[in-house]
Amino acid sequence: MRIPLPLVSLRALVLVFASAVLVLGAVDGGSVFLSRMAVPDEARQAGYAAAAAVENEEATPQTVRVAFMAAREDARAGNISISTKSFTLYPDGRVTLTARRTAPTLLLHRISALSHLAEVRATVTVTAVPFS
């Protein structure tokens, strides 16, 4: 009497599962890495837009709103959000802001225990660019 062999061995299943986890980890890690490289630049661009919107104007609540709206509008293009609590317009025209983006991952942002790893933040302080 012959015993039938399984079509797929346990070793092959483990190998396929480990390979899938490795590929997902590499893709998600690459996405987070690229976001960490891009968010500071996009935050800086939003800061430049805010500083340019109120350049040579007195720092009043109205100019702060104008600067924040300019930063938020510029940030939309980069798919980042600007926090109102971290936005500061100084009397000398400098702008400080914090930008945040959740990295577009396949799996990482869906696991609640690891979702904080997909969130990227950057705080920058800029002045208006002397040329446009």
Q: For all residues of the chain together, what is the average pLDDT? A: 89
- Flag whether 24 is in a domain: yes
Higher pLDDT, 41 or 107: 41
H/E stretch holding 104 reads none
- Flag whether 81 is in a domain: yes
Question: pLDDT confidence of 95, banded at 50, 70, 90?
Answer: very high
pTM, two decimal places: 0.80
Residue 130: pLDDT over 70: no
Residue 132: pLDDT over 60: no
Rg (alpha carbons) of the chain, rounded to whole number: 23
The total of structural domains in the chain comes to 1
H/E stretch holding 88 reads strand 88-89
φ, ψ dihedrals at 79, nearest 5°: 60, 40
pLDDT, one tens digit per residue, over 29-75 is 999 999 999 999 999 999 999 999 998 888 889 999 999 999 999 99
- Flag whether 27 is in a domain: yes
Q: Which two structure tokens, joined as six digits, stand for 27?
A: 């893709």
- Flag whether 132 is in a domain: no
- Flag whether 1 is in a domain: no
> What range does the domain containing 36 cover?
10-126
